Structure 1
Amino acid sequence: MLRATTTATGVESPAGLARLLDAHAYLADDGLATACFLALRMRRPLFLEGEAGVGKTELAKCLAAVLGAPLIRLQCYEGLDAAHALYDWDFARQLLHLKAAEAAGAADAARLEGELYDRRFLIARPLLAALETQPSVLLVDEIDRGDDEFEAFLLETLSDYAISVPELGTIRAQTPPVVVVTSNRTREVHDALKRRCIYHWLEHPSFDREVAILLRRLPHCGQNLAAQVATVAGRLRSADLVKPPGIAETLDWTEALLTLGARDLDPDLAAASLGALLKHREDQASVLRDGLLRHG
């Protein structure tokens, strides 16, 4: 089914997928386009790892747009468990149904109890929603923020693309969702999960690619400003900062500069808009002290 989906959208090669992503303003290099293409054709989850802000989540959004499928996002966090990721029962609606049945004089207790666990009272959380929606793109975002137990549960779910609901039975995906798993590598993700996936590490973009991204995403940005911003961004990534800027922050900073009327990287405007680029007070102070905003 995934093969039919990719063929229908004209994706016959990594280069073809890269062109389709480009049409949605995402510039994928050869390595990323190939990993994404293989994940689609081999029906395997795509595991994207890299520092925050390098475009992992954005790729999932653009991939959903390319495939014409809804994006269903599961944001991971410490303490996330199966109940929050799978499904929940709508207790309020169940109670209303129970009261309505009692008011109508329903006497069959067993039948009434069975009605309370009908599919209409089941609230689908992201994993169940992705299995029931065809086609769909499931984004499991920042899996490294979740617990080991949830990681093991996710592995089991992705192995069969099926979920067991005790009251209803097994719900299985007719068409498995396209799955994108991301990690900022705040901790190591277990090899068992990675083995099921096509793995790709996203680097910060090269100077030329970052300039191309800025020009593609911000049409009002001139070549000169884009080159100056990319120069500063590259310098900051090699500096000793708490959180070096990713492409997401570079885009925000460039947009802030354009909003302030900049056509070149004016030092005063660069300093005034630094909050769009750096999110730690120590980093801002270090950059201003060491004169790292110069573009020459």
Structure 2
Amino acid sequence: MTADSTGSSTGGIASDGTAGAVPEAPASPGSPDELAGLLEGTGYLADPGIATAAFLALRMRRPLFCEGEPGTGKTSLAVALAEALELPLIRLQCHEGIDAGQALYEWDFPRQLLHLRALEAAEGGRLSVDAAEQSLYTERFLLARPLLQALICAPCVLLVDELDRADDEFEAFLLQLLDENAVTIPEYGEVRAETPPLVVLTSNRTREVHDALKRRCLYHWVEHPGFEREVAILRRRIPGIDERLARQLTEAVQRLRSMELLKPPGVAEALDWAQALTALGKDELDAETAATTLGAVLKYSEDLDRVRASLDSLLG
């Protein structure tokens, strides 16, 4: 990473502060259908709405904000985009209390301290305070966290996952990055991406994300897949699964989603259930098998009790 005369920086730096190679941007797909085909090649079956939203985010160079119930494939979309476009994936997992030090950068304090001691020994105490301070705040001691990595490594896919878990202050912190594809490090200067990363933000809507952030993004509400699409996902992701079993599982999972459960199953849980049944060598979902394997698809004891009491209706 090199700094220009204005104090801004471009180039490559790895997570340990060392220089890294910047990948070349691949050719962009020419249409939503073409992008859907690329995503399908990774195993992600995108419906027209998702494919169009992702295509527009690429073409317009805008962040894509995906909101929806847990397990609808929001995170998987970012992973698939990175694979389909042959770009690095950089992921920031949000959580309560996340701050700039965890998301953007930190200074390597132990190495800075050792550096100061080495300078003192080499200069015999004659080193000026200004010169010593200036030597501390260079890329040599800068530890890049996911947001800074994304600006430096771009083109890439930056996944800001489960933004709703973070607080209002962190949302405000993201605004400069979303607006300008740049961040400012007070001791160092501005770091700006030469090529904007493709930013995918996800939310499970445990709280409302503020309008200021939404205005800077394209928005897409991600639904659970329809019946035929979910069957196709199971058959694509679980090689060798019997079509009859895939259809039985999908019908059962979609009925579970219509029940008043504490945690309705998503696509990830449907895949887990399918893997569990294939591991047991089952080619049919019957009441006994469903009762003993529900732990693959339901995660609360209250939900398990409720569903086991009505297995006949679940299996039709």
Query: Normalised by the size of structure 1, how large is the TM-score?
Result: 0.94
Aligned to 1:143: 163
For residues 256 and 241 of structure 1, the distance between their equivalents in structure 2, rounded to whole angstroms, comes to 21
CA deviations 1:225-281 (Å, max 9, x no partner) are 100000000100000100100001100111111111111113323222211101111
For residues 187 and 166 of structure 2, the distance between their equivalents in structure 1, rounded to whole angstroms, comes to 27
Give unmatched runs, 5+ long, in structure 1: none
- 1:267/1:293 contact within 8 Å kept: no
1:275 aligns with 2:295: yes
For residues 118 and 33 of structure 1, the distance between their equivalents in structure 2, rounded to whole angstroms, comes to 41
Aligned to 1:209: 229
Deviation at 1:129, TM superposition (A): 0.8
Aligned to 1:23: 41
For residues 254 and 127 of structure 2, the distance between their equivalents in structure 1, rounded to whole angstroms, comes to 71
For residues 101 and 141 of structure 2, the distance between their equivalents in structure 1, rounded to whole angstroms, comes to 15
CA deviations 1:169-192 (Å, max 9, x no partner) are 111111111000101011111122
The structure-2 alpha-carbon separation of the partners of 1:286 and 1:292, relative to structure 1 and needing over 3 Å to count, comes to farther
Deviation at 1:112, TM superposition (A): 2.5
Q: Hey, which bits of structure 1, 4+ residues long, moved more than 4 A?
A: none
For residues 20 and 292 of structure 1, the distance between their equivalents in structure 2, rounded to whole angstroms, comes to 40
Task: Give the aligned residue type for 2:108.
Answer: D
Count of aligned positions: 291
Q: Which of 72, 78, 89 is the equivalent residue of 1:54?
A: 72
Aligned to 1:127: 147
Aligned to 2:8: none
Aligned to 1:42: 60
Q: CA RMSD, aligned part only?
A: 1.5
CA deviations 1:104-162 (Å, max 9, x no partner) are 34531332222111111011111111111121111011111111111112122211111
1:259-274 equivalences under 5 Å are: 259-274=279-294
Aligned to 2:15: none
Deviation at 1:196, TM superposition (A): 1.4
For residues 63 and 39 of structure 1, the distance between their equivalents in structure 2, rounded to whole angstroms, comes to 11
Moved more, 120-129 or 14-23: 120-129
Aligned to 1:169: 189
SS at match of 1:273: helix
For residues 293 and 257 of structure 1, the distance between their equivalents in structure 2, rounded to whole angstroms, comes to 20
SS at match of 2:206: coil
Aligned to 1:101: 119
Aligned to 1:92: 110
For residues 114 and 289 of structure 2, the distance between their equivalents in structure 1, rounded to whole angstroms, comes to 59
**Taking every aligned residue pair, what percent have the same amino acid on both sides?**
60
Q: Which of 224, 249, 257 is the equivalent residue of 2:277?
A: 257
Deviation at 1:287, TM superposition (A): 0.3
- 2:286/2:315 contact within 8 Å kept: no
